[in-house]
Amino acid sequence: MRNSYMLFVSLLFVWKMSGKGEISLTYTDFNAHDLVLVKEWEVKRSYIAIVKDARGKKYIIKQSKKDDVKGEMFCVREVAGAYLAKILGIPANEVLLIPAGVSVVGKKNKNRAATMHTFVEGIHWGVKKFEGSRFFSLRQRLSRAPSDAEKGLTLIVIKSMALHATLPLIVALDSFLGISGRNKRNLIYDESHDAFYVIDFDTGCTNNLCVWAIERLTEIMKSQDKVLEKQDIEGLILYKKMLEKIIHTISPAFVHTLLYDALVQAHIRDAGEAKKCVARYEDALTHSYGCIKKLIDVVKNVLMAYNKKIGFYHS
């Protein structure tokens, strides 16, 4: 899976660390390949454009409709989330910044920041592959949940992520980043690589979903009914392993560096207000990071309990 994914990623988007330790998050190769506009449209919050270079390679340009700092901060969250997915080995499109003041084909407003995304071929959320499934929702709902009992890592999410080996990895990252709106529009299935690719990270860094995952799993563990099956347990094992990888790979200090490097490179006009936003994002991820260790222990307890019930070996 990892090798296939790396081959799939465009060589045009190269992420590197400079000699000063700054994380390079900006698309700079504007003159290397002529870009032409293929298609553009609007969605609720964003302007979207598909562009193509001279080799026929396609990219997506995305810019918030909001003409304020909060609108531009979507770019910072987008690029930070995609970068974390990359270093964790989670299939996702790569995203780079187009700074404010830089003009490029497909970018609506030159004076505001935008993002450039690798174009992921595939079908949204794998309807054809899982059309007969009773469950399919990776939405760890929060603010729009009808009740507390339906927030976070619900039974439906657990059974849904168990359908494919890449889905628990995505759910784990969403738990950490606080992305509660994962849905069929931002999840793409690539049949040629048999992998789900996640796109859209711009709503992350504001919520702590790990604390709600702890609540839901604790309820499942206390339940007298055997609600989880072998496939669900396998999914939880992969979920736990990715949470452990997050702990071992990402530190609060790294999150700080990533967010502030993205902020500087975006060239957002109101730097003071933007810094306040980044401080809130950092605070949210720090709280989430603190909950992950407890969440890992809770997942382990669930696995141990179910190992006794159904005799399923877990590692």
Assigned domain for 7 exists: yes
User: Which of 118, 137, 155 is the C-terminal boundary of a domain?
Assistant: 118
Give which of 11, 104, 5 is closest to 55, Cα–Cα: 11
Along the 315 residues of the chain, how does pLDDT read in single tens digits? 333 333 233 223 333 333 345 799 998 776 556 889 999 999 988 999 999 988 888 999 999 998 889 889 999 999 999 999 999 999 999 999 999 999 999 999 999 999 999 998 877 655 556 656 665 789 999 988 899 999 999 999 999 999 999 999 999 999 999 999 998 888 888 888 888 999 999 999 999 999 999 999 999 988 867 789 889 999 999 999 999 999 999 999 999 999 999 999 999 989 899 999 999 999 999 999 999 999 999 999 999 888 766 665 555
Assigned domain for 237 exists: yes
Q: Using CA atoms, how far apart are residues 124 and 199, in angstroms rounded to an integer?
A: 10
Phi then psi dihedrals of residue 57, to 5 deg: -75, 135
User: Which of 92, 118, 144 is the C-terminal boundary of a domain?
Assistant: 118
The DSSP code for 92 is B
Alpha-helix runs per DSSP H in 271-312: 271-310
Q: Using CA atoms, how far apart are residues 241 and 58, in angstroms rounded to an integer?
A: 33
**Whether residue 138 sits in one domain with residue 46:** no
**Whether residue 297 sits in one domain with residue 150:** yes
**Whether residue 109 sits in one domain with residue 14:** yes
Assigned domain for 315 exists: no
Q: Using CA atoms, how far apart are residues 85 and 88, in angstroms rounded to an integer?
A: 5
By DSSP bridging, strand 36-42 and strand 58-64 are unpaired
What residue numbers bound the domain in which 85 lies? 2-118
